[in-house]
């Protein structure tokens, strides 16, 4: 495959040569560096690249150019290569224009001239952006291919699993084989028949017919067995809280194991765009955040088992033992439970039967492409529903948000409410709830009850995305640590009632702030009673838990 392109554009020949030289110096091994001396010439070059099926990773463009300035050029270039990272090169005097461009022209970054030394002012920014681009770049024919049918829940599970584990894949809907010659050729070549679907074809030409997630994970080289039997620190759950704890724990010398039953990133990994996380002014997707955090954790030597579920915990003297779904036990000195929450299910007729074939929980980003030109319905009125509505609005003909209350404002951040108001194909229907889902092999329609008029209407749709709150799945901790009536784990001050320590607490001191009713077992993030359900607070709690882990370890 041809190397992806980095294109730089500047009308000043000297500056253009200097940028090209610096780009080549660092990136020539992995990318092709091209240059243009005007916006018009650069657009022509991009059209040529598109025709040849090339990929463009970065556009680095001067703002002040005659005829077409940098922002205007990037606006047009985006139509040709929407995924290329867009960076504006500006003089100090143009800083304000550049900041506006982040919002208006969706520029990813602006750099000030001069950028010397590039090691300090140019490469760190570009490394980061290119890392991001690589994370979502899907080489068409070199990754894993999943063959299946759109309405198969099993196919959806695979696509979701691969996407959340950052494994680039190509989805091939075999039902299009009659219309798309390339699909027909592939189906015939791998011998895909109804009973072998979904089928996963690997870059080395091997394939698995209708495999389990475990078989798929093993083939992809994901690790599900620990290297050793005992660790300093074990973390259950690789959402923001678990990942932060892993980074801090391992970087401070604890031999750390993190166990995740689905894919690193947790709920945050399902978010199409997190806009309120500090340090990312133009937002980032949950997938990006997860990928960065996993890289950081691995760099500090964290061992990650995924997918692997923890099904039990017990105390043996000074050891905390966790039981894996596969049956093995792992011991540790200190344990952190960061298992977050999972979606509450919609309890109406038809919903369970049609889950995965038209009804999805979470943002179901993998399904957005199939909604091109369709009418999508979203249940829920909080931030996660709002983000999904914004995401689907780029693909669907219309997005209808069904909200039980009388407005969005109760649970949604103002920035999202503003974005939704400005998006013409999103409609909000208040006082509305789904009462039935219809369809045989896949979702075909839903019935909606309007609580103010008492009327029920049935509307056709193939896509219902549900965000109706979440609950902690902590029954496996029953009888081990104290939980509240909804299953959230009690920690620190919440365990001490009328000055009395929790039953069975063996120490003179009270439980530390993130410590559960068992010394050395901590809880952080959404699963903790009273926690703020946000990415940043999960990250904060995970980091703080490590501090208390050290204190605990110094006592035993």
Ligand X SMILES: Cc1cc2nc3c(=O)[nH]c(=O)nc-3n(C[C@H](O)[C@H](O)[C@H](O)COP(=O)(O)OP(=O)(O)OC[C@H]3O[C@@H](n4cnc5c(N)ncnc54)[C@H](O)[C@@H]3O)c2cc1C
Residues that bind ligand X (CB under 6 A): 236-242, 259-262, 266-268, 270-271, 274, 276, 309-310, 338-341, 362-363, 383-384, 387, 473, 525-526, 533-536, 538
DSSP calls for 54-85 = --EEEEEEES--SSS-HHHHHHHHHHH-TTSE
Sequential DSSP letters for 113-175: SP--SHHHHTHHHHHHHHHHHHHH---TTTSEEEEE-TT-HHHHHHHHHHHHTT--EEEEEGG
Residues in contact with 299: Cβ distance below 8 Å, sequence separation at least 6, in sequence order: none
Using the minimum distance from each CB to ligand X, give the nearer residue, 187 or 389: 389
Q: Kindly state the smallest distance separating residue 350's Cβ from ligand X, in Å.
A: 23
Burial 446-473 (b: 16+ CB within 10 A, else e): bbbbeeeeeeeeeeebbbbbbbbebebe
Q: How near is the Cβ of 36 to ligand X at its closest, in Å?
A: 37
Q: Distance of CA 195 to CAs 156, 217, 356, 419, Å?
A: 16, 21, 19, 45
Among candidate residues 164, 268, 215, 301, the one with its CA nearest the CA of residue 534:
268
Is the separation of the CB atoms in 435 and 461 below 8 Å?
no
CB 322 to ligand X: min, Å: 9
Cβ proximity to ligand X, 123 vs 467, nearer residue: 467
Q: How far apart are CA 527 and CA 532, in angstroms?
A: 10
Of 434 and 535, nearer to ligand X (C-beta) is 535
Whose structure tokens read 């939704």? 420
The backbone torsions φ and ψ at residue 523, rounded to the nearest 5 degrees and listed phi first, read -135, 140
Please state the closest distance from residue 388 (CB atom) to ligand X, in A. Answer: 7
Q: Please give the residue whose beta carbon sits closest to ligand X in the complex.
A: 340
| Paired tokens of 4 | 């992806």
At closest approach, how far in Å is the CB of 117 from ligand X? 36
Smaller CB separation from ligand X, 90 or 387:
387
| CB 391, min distance to ligand X, A | 9
Is the CB of 473 or the CB of 543 nearer to ligand X?
A: 473
8/355 with CB nearer ligand X: 355
For the record, the structure tokens of 303 come out as 């061992």
Rounded to a whole number of angstroms, the minimum distance from the CB of residue 266 to ligand X is 2
Min CB(412)–ligand X separation in Å:
11
Residue among 23 and 293 whose Cβ is closer to ligand X: 293
* Residue 295 contacts residue 269 (beta carbons within 8 Å): no
**Nearest distance from C-beta of residue 202 to ligand X, angstroms:** 25
Q: What minimum distance in Å lies between the beta carbon of 539 and ligand X?
A: 8
What tokens does 250 get?
Answer: 């391992």
Give 349: exposed, middle or buried? Use CB within 10 Å, 0-12, 13-18, 19+. Answer: exposed
Q: How far is CA 448 from CA 350, 436, 440, 455, in A?
A: 13, 7, 19, 8
Q: Which is nearer to ligand X, 259 or 518 (CB)?
A: 259
Strands 359-361 and 342-343: unpaired
Cβ atoms 448, 418 nearer than 8 A: no
- The DSSP annotation for 88-110 comes to EEE-GGGHHHHHHHHHHS--SEE
Quick one: 327 exposed, middle or buried, by C-beta within 10 A (0-12, 13-18, 19+)?
exposed
Task: Give the residue with the Cβ less far from ligand X, 240 or 514.
Answer: 240
Minimum distance from CB of 199 to ligand X (Å)? 26
**Nearest residue (CB) to ligand X, 69 versus 474:** 474
* Nearest distance in Å: CB 265, ligand X: 7
Task: For residue 332, report the phi and psi dihedrals to the nearest 5 degrees.
Answer: -155, 165
Cis amide linkage into residue 114, ω under 30° from 0: yes
84 or 259: whose CB is closer to ligand X?
259
3-state secondary structure of 523: strand
Compare residues 8 and 165 and give the one whose CB is closer to ligand X: 165
């Amino acid at each position: 495959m041809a190397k992806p392109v980095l294109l730089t554009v500047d009308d000043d020949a000297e500056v253009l040569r200097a940028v090209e030289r610096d780009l080549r110096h660092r990136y020539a091994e992995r990318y092709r560096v091209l240059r243009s001396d005007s916006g018009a010439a650069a657009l022509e070059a991009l059209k040529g690249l598109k025709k040849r099926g090339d990929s463009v990773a970065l556009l680095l463009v001067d703002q002040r150019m005659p005829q077409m300035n940098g922002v205007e050029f990037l606006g047009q270039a985006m139509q040709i290569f929407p995924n290329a990272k867009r960076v504006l090169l500006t003089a100090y005097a143009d800083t304000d224009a550049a900041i506006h461009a982040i919002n208006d022209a969706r520029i990813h970054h602006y750099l000030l001239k001069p950028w010397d030394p590039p090691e300090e002012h140019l490469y760190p920014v570009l490394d980061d952006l290119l890392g991001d681009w690589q994370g979502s770049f899907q080489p068409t024919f070199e990754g894993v291919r999943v063959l299946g049918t759109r309405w198969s829940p099993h196919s959806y599970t695979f696509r979701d699993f691969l996407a959340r584990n950052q494994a680039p894949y190509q989805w091939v809907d075999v039902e299009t084989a009659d219309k798309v010659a390339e699909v027909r050729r592939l189906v015939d070549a791998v011998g895909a028949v109804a009973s072998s679907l979904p089928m996963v074809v690997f870059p080395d030409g091997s394939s698995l017919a209708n495999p389990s997630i475990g078989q798929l994970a093993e083939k992809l080289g994901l690790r599900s067995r620990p290297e050793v039997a005992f660790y300093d620190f074990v973390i259950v759950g690789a959402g923001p809280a678990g990942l932060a704890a892993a980074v801090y724990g391992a970087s401070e010398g604890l031999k750390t194991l993190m166990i995740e039953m689905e894919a690193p990133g947790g709920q945050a990994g399902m978010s199409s765009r997190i806009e309120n996380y500090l340090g990312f002014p133009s937002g980032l997707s949950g997938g990006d955040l997860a990928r960065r955090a996993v890289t950081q954790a691995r760099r500090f030597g964290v061992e990650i088992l995924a997918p692997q579920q923890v099904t039990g915990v017990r105390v043996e003297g000074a050891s905390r033992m966790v039981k894996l779904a596969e049956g093995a036990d792992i011991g540790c000195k200190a344990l952190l439970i960061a298992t977050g929450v999972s979606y509450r299910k919609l309890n109406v007729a038809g919903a369970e039967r049609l889950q995965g074939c038209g009804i999805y929980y979470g943002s179901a980003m993998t399904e957005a492409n199939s909604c091109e030109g369709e009418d999508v319905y979203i249940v829920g009125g909080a931030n996660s529903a709002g983000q999904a509505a914004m995401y689907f609005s780029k693909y669907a003909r219309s997005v209808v948000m069904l909200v039980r209350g009388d407005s969005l404002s109760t649970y949604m951040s103002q920035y999202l409410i503003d974005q939704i108001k400005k998006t013409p194909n999103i409609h909000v229907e208040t006082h509305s709830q789904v009462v039935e889902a219809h369809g045989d092999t896949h979702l075909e329609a839903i019935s909606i009850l309007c609580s103010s008029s008492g009327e029920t209407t049935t509307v056709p749709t193939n896509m219902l995305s549900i965000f109706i709150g979440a609950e902690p799945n902590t029954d496996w901790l029953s009888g081990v640590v104290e939980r509240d009536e909804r299953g959230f784990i009690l920690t620190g001050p919440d365990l001490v009632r009328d000055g009395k320590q929790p039953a069975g607490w063996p120490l003179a001191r009270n439980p530390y702030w993130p410590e559960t009713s068992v010394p050395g077992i901590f809880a952080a993030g959404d699963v903790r009673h009273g926690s703020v359900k946000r990415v940043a607070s999960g990250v904060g709690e995970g980091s703080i838990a490590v501090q208390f882990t050290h204190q605990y370890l110094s006592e035993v």
